[in-house]
Amino acid sequence: MKKGKWSLQFTIMILVCGVVALSLFITDILISQTVADTIEKSQTEKAVNVARMAAQTPLVIETLSGSENNQEVQQFTNRIKKSTDVEFVVIIDNNGIRKTHPDPSKIGKKFVGGDEKDVLRGREHISISKGTLGRSLRSFTPVYNSEDNQIGAVVVGISLQKVNEAVLKSRFNIYVGTVFGILTGIAGAILLARYIKKILFGLEPFAIAKVLKERNAILQSVREGIIAVDQSSTITLVNKAALKIFKKAGINENPTGKKVTSYMPDSNLDRILETGKVELDKEQDLKGSVLLVNRVPVFVKDEIVGAVATFRDKTEIHLLAEQLTGVRLYAESLRAQSHEFMNKLHVILGMVHMHYYDQLAAYISDLVDHRENEIGFITKTVKDPVLAGFLIGKLSYAREAGAKLALSSDFQLPEPENAAITHELITIIGNLIDNAIEAVEKRPVKRIELKFDYADDILTIEVHDTGQGISDANLNHILLKGYTTKGEDRGIGLYLVKASLDKLGGDLDISSKEGQETTFVVYIPYKARMM
């Protein structure tokens, strides 16, 4: 979010006022329509009731029967008009001739509007029409004599202007309430915005978003585990690195929302909350894993509101040393070749001094043939020059250790599409061969077989040795970091193999007969580089 956008106070004010105005506007529409319908209905019912009452009056019936004076009934209708506050009460005969009218000059004349035809046929009805008194809502009720014969009708009219005035009056009250509600909403929005801004230390939304993104990026990018707690020792934040460390220690629960004293009893973060003192470079045991921890309190306005601990697995130092991009494996291979070459030079130098030229020629010829066979097979089978050079070095290393390393492959292994895979292959093959050489060290038959198979973009690597084998009890744990039966500071090789396989999306199968042999089979997705 860029700087220059609306302020938090203005945004909240607009939002709150908009919501209030919209809700009041919709309410106004609904209520106004309901009020208008109600007023119209009540006025209609009023007109109908007045018309029915007049139609049942003996004076009206007698007037229409011709036995009463029109003057008397005129006075009667005027009284009804005045007492009921209607626009007019008009009595007509079956010919539509007015017997009464608010304007005496209209008496005796034809009823105007054209909507009286239905009532003269005996049907009571409501209509809106324009007459001599203007546009009005009219109620028509037939009048019957004692013989149940229709002798005329009563027409009661209510001015539509009065109806509209009643509706406008009710709407005015709604408008007043709407304006009051909007003003109240503005005041409330301003107070709410100021309160929220105070809580957020005066930061605007764009600044909050920027801080949050930076915070998340930092927390998730660091290699150290980070865990934070609030004043009540409840865990509020844990980054990915911390979760990985917990998982390695066998803790798989999500710690967020839990008490740190129950999740990590030895964290000592509760002590930091009490003392407010910083603790740096302290060791902590986490179910067998030794962590190097820094603990600091979090202050807001000189008040402790929480604490943060950063930590890292101490054994990762050894892991980093082993993971120096395969440099150790390269160096060992080169050292082995150099050592082997120096031994052969010493033999050649001794034969020269002893003048054993015939034997020297045979020895050199044998060396050249053997070297050419090895190098020729590797360079013909393995097209990746880095991997090929590494394998040549491993052959020398195995011979130096007194073991026989046999390479075989029925298919040519092309260069990988992604050059980074070579490093992972060196890590995998190097550690498997090193473990195999150690396994056959005290065996009468010191043979190691390395076999490659490549098909359908899958590389299969099989390493078989004639070593002591692995017991069933150890077979389930040998891939764990630090697990070893060979002494201290070991147990990293197979863990690195597993880590590289996870990175490449590969699989590993292990089969072993205790006291006889062990076979590791690796399956790796491997796309060849297009030539």
End-to-end CA distance of the chain: 47
- The answer to whether residues 260 and 234 touch, using CB atoms and an 8 Å cutoff, is yes
Do 309 and 390 reside in the same domain of the chain?
no
Query: Each residue of 192-222: pLDDT tens digit?
Result: 777 777 777 666 667 777 777 777 777 777 7
Whole-angstrom distance, CA of residue 412 vs CA of residue 453: 8
pLDDT at 530 over 50: yes
pLDDT for 336:
57
pLDDT at 179 over 70: yes
Rank 196-210, 274-288, 464-478, 509-523 by mean pLDDT and report only the highest. Answer: 509-523
pLDDT for 117:
85
Do 269 and 405 reside in the same domain of the chain?
no
CA dist 476 to 136, 484, 510, Å?
97, 12, 10
Do 475 and 510 reside in the same domain of the chain?
yes
Q: What's the domain range around 401?
A: 320-525
The mean pLDDT of 303-315, rounded to a whole number, is 82
Partners of 298 in the beta sheet?
Answer: 306
Domain CATH for 478: 3.30.565.10
pLDDT at 318 over 50: no
Do 275 and 355 reside in the same domain of the chain?
no
pLDDT at 354 over 60: yes
Per the listing, tokens 């029967």 go with 65
Do 310 and 347 reside in the same domain of the chain?
no
User: Binning pLDDT at 50, 70 and 90, where does residue 167 land?
Assistant: low
Whole-angstrom distance, CA of residue 365 vs CA of residue 352: 15
pLDDT at 486 over 90: no
User: Binning pLDDT at 50, 70 and 90, where does residue 1 land?
Assistant: very low
pLDDT at 460 over 90: yes
pLDDT for 469:
85
If one counts the domains in the chain, the total is 3
Do 457 and 329 reside in the same domain of the chain?
yes
User: Binning pLDDT at 50, 70 and 90, where does residue 153 land?
Assistant: very high
Domain CATH for 301: 3.30.450.20
Domain boundary among 265, 298, 314: 314
Do 324 and 296 reside in the same domain of the chain?
no
The mean pLDDT of 72-76, rounded to a whole number, is 85
Candidate from 189-193, 324-328, 467-471, 488-492 with smallest mean pLDDT: 324-328
User: Binning pLDDT at 50, 70 and 90, where does residue 344 land?
Assistant: low
By percentage, how much of the chain surpasses pLDDT 70? 82
Query: Each residue of 283-300: pLDDT tens digit?
Result: 787 776 778 888 999 888
Domain boundary among 314, 330, 361: 314
pLDDT for 498:
87
The Cβ-side half-sphere exposure at 284, using a 13 Å CA radius, reads 24
Do 159 and 20 reside in the same domain of the chain?
yes
pLDDT for 335:
62
Q: Token pair for residue 362?
A: 């045979």
pLDDT for 463:
92
If you write DSSP's letter for every residue of 82-108 in order, what string do you get? HHHT-SEEEEEETT-BBS--SSGGGTT
Whole-angstrom distance, CA of residue 313 vs CA of residue 247: 12
pLDDT for 287:
76
pLDDT for 5:
60
Mean pLDDT computed over every residue of the chain: 79
pLDDT for 322:
44
Asked if the structure places residue 406 within a domain, the reply is: yes
Query: Each residue of 114-140: pLDDT tens digit?
Result: 788 888 888 998 887 776 666 778 889
pLDDT for 222:
77
Domain boundary among 298, 314, 330: 314
Asked if the structure places residue 259 within a domain, the reply is: yes
pLDDT at 69 over 80: no
Which of the pair, 384 or 345, is modelled with greater confidence? Answer: 384
- The number of angstroms, rounded, from the C-alpha of 20 to the middle of its chain's C-alpha atoms is 30
Q: Are strands 225-230 and 235-238 parallel, antiparallel or unpaired?
A: antiparallel
- The count of other CB atoms within 10 Å of the CB of residue 249 is 16
Do 309 and 334 reside in the same domain of the chain?
no
The mean pLDDT of 337-362, rounded to a whole number, is 69
pLDDT at 424 over 80: yes
Asked if the structure places residue 205 within a domain, the reply is: no
pLDDT at 371 over 50: yes
Asked if the structure places residue 270 within a domain, the reply is: yes
Name the residue type at position 106: K
70-84 and 58-65 helices, crossing angle to 10°? 140
Asked if the structure places residue 273 within a domain, the reply is: yes
Do 297 and 331 reside in the same domain of the chain?
no
Asked if the structure places residue 216 within a domain, the reply is: no
Asked if the structure places residue 511 within a domain, the reply is: yes
Asked if the structure places residue 178 within a domain, the reply is: no
Candidate from 67-71, 416-420, 423-427, 477-481 with smallest mean pLDDT: 67-71
Whole-angstrom distance, CA of residue 103 vs CA of residue 132: 9
The mean pLDDT of 212-239, rounded to a whole number, is 82
If you write DSSP's letter for every residue of 8-43 in order, what string do you get? HHHHHHHHHHHHHHHHHHHHHHHHHHHHHHHHHHHH
- The answer to whether residues 299 and 305 touch, using CB atoms and an 8 Å cutoff, is yes
Do 330 and 478 reside in the same domain of the chain?
yes
Do 237 and 140 reside in the same domain of the chain?
no
Q: Is 515 helix (H, G, I), strand (E, B) or coil?
A: coil
The mean pLDDT of 464-492, rounded to a whole number, is 73
